[in-house]
A and B are shown apart, each in its own frame.
Chain A
Amino acid sequence: MTRKAEFVVGLEPERYELHSPLSVIFESDRRDFFKFLGTGIFIACASSKTAAFQESGRRGGSEENLPREIDAWLHIGENGEITALTGKVEVGQNIRTSLSQAVAEELCVPIESVRLVMGDTQLVPFDMGTFGSRTTPVMNLQLRRVSAAARDELIGIAAKHWNADPGQLTATNGKIIDPKTNRSASYSELVRGKQMTQLLPAEDPLIPAAQWKIAGQAVSKVDGRDFVTGKHRYPSDCTLPNMLYGKVVRPISFGATLTSADTRAAEQMLGVTVVRDGDFLAVAAPTSALAEKAATAIKAEWKSQPQISNKELFEFLKKNPTPDEERNSGHETGNIEKAFTESAERLNSTFNIAYIAHAPLEPRAALAQWNDGQLTVWTGTQRPFGVRSELATAFHLPEEKVRVLMPDMGSGYGGKHTAETALEAARLARAAKRPVKVVWTREEEFTWAYFRPAGVIDVTSSVSPDGKINAWEFHNYNSGGAGIRTYYDIPNQRIQFHPVNSPLRQGSYRALAATANHFAREVHMDEIAASLKMDPLEFRLKNLKEERLRAVFEQGGKQFGWDKPRPANRGFGVGGGYEKLGYMATFAEVTLKPETRELRIERVLTAFDCGAIVNPDGLRNQLIGANVMGLGGAIFEAIEFENGRIVNNVFSKYRVPRFRDVPAGMDVLLIDRKDQPSVGAGEAPILGIAPAIANAIFALTQIPLHSLPMGPTLASRGYKLV
């Protein structure tokens, strides 16, 4: 096996929320694309044999119903409008723009003529969801292939029309041109009056990245104007005539069951509908103020169980791994026992990782409407088809009776995979016989969503005196298996993930457990280097063969000035790795004021290689944003809980990064590999900031920082990070 193959670790399933049972279970037809988009040409797929189709495209199912379930990806209308259809959704990662660039590039049209329909389950091909940094490696490629096929089809139509050789014709700026005769025809002329569906050929020649004109350029957000004018409607902004506002009466703690509810006062309020269905207790009213009033008027009794608090968390996680063969696969190379026995010394560190909240600025929201047994829901989710499936199950409906639409939302960061508000709004709407909107409050979002898993990580290593690591043992309790494997060249390894029945509901978070695993690995690397009195960057490179990962460390280090002399009270740190197909190294400079013990992060640089860059401006935005968001989890974010309640469930108690938390110098180094496939950038860039800061502080103070967040440890040692 080549090193390369070993390096490509598959997409980690987003385990937690997909395995968790539905929170509540309560007691279409052929898609007519032409009706929706008018006459023209559709480019469609009827093959499920490519990798893309396992997560996007037609779901499993039998081959015989293929013609009926053809998935249309692209439409060229006789008005010249080009519409691409995708199940991926826009949550701020800017794919509406980058996917439009892909279509415009291959179809040779201005980007302004491309429109994307995203995340509407009735119109777009099936898609598992927008997570795992899959949009760029999979969907961008898919839409490029579809657009290239459309370009060829248009050339074919023109060639037939002019009785010309298709090989001689070219596509430019929305026209097919015959350079010999100077004849030209616009796409809209070519498709006029046609109502045809062209199946995507197996392979199409794509325009190589080195020749890109629209892809590869810094294109600004395609519909940016709608956002600066307040015109864009987020899920929580959606309305329907006669709509009611829903409000759920929440249990007093996690897992509490409803024993009694006196709903009489609420029911007497004008226009109020009360629903009690099992433990689900909620109201709908013509205004949110009245819904609030009615919910407060309900006297509910709940039965709850004593539960652990964050003070006992790490001990609990370490002591309660659940044996689970399927989810517990480890990795072993060489002979770890022998290697440890033969080495003079071993180094051990234990890391604690807190639960943190995604806290997307737009809380969960859904608007639901029933019409003749058909359910339509507008909601903020990263998995429209997953939400459709949850709704179908909860309401005992076939999936064709459920349509989910996802207007570009106020972000998710992995936190909006589930259907909570969709279920709540739909249940209330069924009872009220009117559309109902449910928007969670900030407190609800902090409490009833799910968290990034907490974890405990044990690392043990031994190293030869010349700086080669010979043994590496790594155990992760609960936080997850993403990014758990080491990319350093180590002959003897044992790496194991130990699932735990988490005390809090947990799920995906930007980059999953790779953040925790990279933190532990990269901080431990500096501790080994320190034990050898070796430079941490030199030590990494000595143990690293992978060429693209070496490149981000080396080129990033050069731009950062790693080798330049460092004045007193100035520490450098680095943390890097490979995740979601991207190569990343982040460097940080921290200064110390000895008299006040104040530490300050002066500057941060992230070097990143995600193959051929589709949109350098969007990429820069992602890299800086990931580092800023990562600062929170690195330094101060942590969920506090007690007895099934979240203690810090508002922004005044749960601190997130703000303007003044951003270091003065935030820089990026983009390594544009036009010879490599384009991959995602929404997740991997968040991984380096925590270890880079911890290592810079370690270099300055010799304090090992083994917890995320690291602020409390620093405070206990008398330091303040400002």
Chain B
Amino acid sequence: MPTKYSLKINGQSFSVGADPETRLLWVLREQLDLTGTKYGCGEGQCGACTVLIDGRAQRSCMTPVSAVFSKSITTIEGLAKGDQLHPVQQAFLDEGAMQCAYCTSGMIMSAVSLLNNREKPSEAEILQFMQGNICRCGTYPRIVAAIRKASAAGRELVR
């Protein structure tokens, strides 16, 4: 029998039923229709499934739902405030930091997490932090430019 969990996602409460080991990614995508969070590898190697757990980037494909029910979960759908994009989203748009954009949700969530902890990360810190996210189209230089731009534009913390 699945266990009932109450999840706090993007500021709202959701009640879901799932086995404790079920990964958060599949709860988001299949039960809550939050499909902005992507599957890419299932082994925490590509970053496409990145969400924020209490403001920190975490791979939802590796995260059991039982580990996060008491925490604050933010997905790509919860980043903008109404029509107002988060500065990182805006910077990705301004820099054209995408091609197929399948990695974009995960890239943005990782970048928000980085800027949550470091207001002005150095180039080396950006590369180090983002190393776990794959963009197969190869838009890395633009993503770095977008993160620098967002960092310069001013902080908007997400917890």
Contact = CB atoms under 8 A, between A and B. Distances in A.
Contact of B138 (A239, A289, A627): A627
B140 A628 contact: yes
A627 B136 CA distance: 11
Contact of A230 (B105, B126, B133): B105
B35 A233 contact: yes
Contact of A228 (B30, B92, B127, B141): B92
A224 B96 contact: yes
Interface in B79-113: 79-80, 85, 89-90, 92-94, 96, 98-105, 108
A70 interface: no
B115 to A, nearest CB: 15
Given A92-B137, A245-B30, A652-B43, 10 more contacts: A92-B98, A221-B101, A360-B100, A413-B136, A442-B41, A621-B139, A628-B138, A629-B136, A651-B41, A662-B138
A662 B137 contact: no
A659 B102 contact: no
Nearest to B136: A361
B137 to A, nearest CB: 5
A228 B102 CA distance: 10
Nearest to B91: A228
Nearest to B48: A361
Contact of A229 (B80, B103, B131): B80
A228 B43 contact: no
A650 B108 contact: no
A224 B134 contact: no
A220 B136 contact: no
A262 interface: no
21 contacts: A92-B137, A93-B99, A221-B98, A224-B93, A228-B108, A230-B34, A230-B105, A231-B36, A289-B19, A410-B100, A442-B41, A442-B43, A624-B138, A624-B141, A624-B142, A626-B138, A650-B45, A656-B136, A658-B140, A659-B131, A662-B141
B31 to A, nearest CB: 8
B114 to A, nearest CB: 12
Contacts of A612: none
A362 B136 CA distance: 10
A220 B93 contact: yes
B104 A228 contact: yes
A91 B100 contact: yes
A239 B33 contact: yes
A618 B135 CA distance: 16
A625 B30 contact: no
Task: Output the residue of A93, A94, A651 with the most chain B CB within 10 A.
Answer: A651
Given A361-B134, A656-B134, A289 B26 contact: yes
A362 B102 contact: yes
Contact of B39 (A224, A439, A656): A439
A92 B42 contact: no
Nearest to A230: B36
A629 B138 contact: yes
A16 B135 CA distance: 27
A331 B46 CA distance: 44
Nearest to B92: A228
Interface string B24-52: 00100110011111111111011010000
Contact of B100 (A92, A231, A441, A618): A92
B53 to A, nearest CB: 17
Nearest to A627: B138
B103 A361 contact: yes
A139 to B, nearest CB: 18
A625 B138 contact: yes
A411 B136 contact: yes
Contacts of A245: 30
Contact of A288 (B26, B101, B143): B26
Interface in A233-247: 233-234, 236-237, 239, 245
Nearest to B78: A230
Contact of A625 (B41, B75, B99): B99
A409 B133 CA distance: 18
B144 interface: yes
B22 A289 contact: yes
Nearest to B143: A659
Contacts, number: 169
Interface residues of B, number: 58
B76 interface: yes
B68 interface: no
B131 A411 contact: no
B102 A411 contact: yes
B77 to A, nearest CB: 5
Interface of B: 19, 22, 26, 29-30, 33-43, 45-46, 48, 75-77, 79-80, 85, 89-90, 92-94, 96, 98-105, 108, 126-128, 130-144
A662 B140 CA distance: 8
B23 to A, nearest CB: 9
Interface string A205-240: 000000000000000110011011111111011010
A633 to B, nearest CB: 12
B39 A236 contact: yes
Contacts of A230: 34-37, 75-77, 105
Contacts of A234: 35, 38, 102
Contacts of B101: 92, 221, 224, 227-228, 232, 410
A220 B130 CA distance: 24
Nearest to A91: B100
B102 A410 contact: yes
Nearest to B23: A289
A411 to B, nearest CB: 4
A227 B45 contact: no
Contacts of B43: 442, 650-652
B44 to A, nearest CB: 9
Contacts of B41: 442, 650-651
A594 B72 CA distance: 51
A438 to B, nearest CB: 13
Contacts of A662: 138, 140-141
Nearest to B106: A361
Nearest to B100: A92
A352 B91 CA distance: 42
A232 B37 CA distance: 11
A287 B137 CA distance: 31
Q: Which of B30, B100, B139 has the most CB of A within 10 A?
A: B100
A49 interface: no
Contacts of B33: 239
Nearest to A224: B93
Interface string A105-139: 00000000000000000000000000000000000
Contact of A659 (B42, B105, B130, B137): B130
Contacts of B133: 658-659
Contacts of B140: 628, 657-659, 662
Contacts of A629: 136-138
Contact of A651 (B26, B34, B45, B94): B45
Interface string A77-111: 00000000000000111100000000000000000
A618 B134 CA distance: 20
B96 A617 contact: yes
A409 B100 contact: yes
Nearest to B44: A652
A660 interface: yes
Contacts of B34: 230
Contacts of A410: 38, 100-102
A359 interface: yes
A666 interface: yes
Contacts of A442: 40-43, 46
A221 B130 contact: no
B98 A224 contact: yes
Given A362-B102, A624-B139, A220 B96 contact: yes
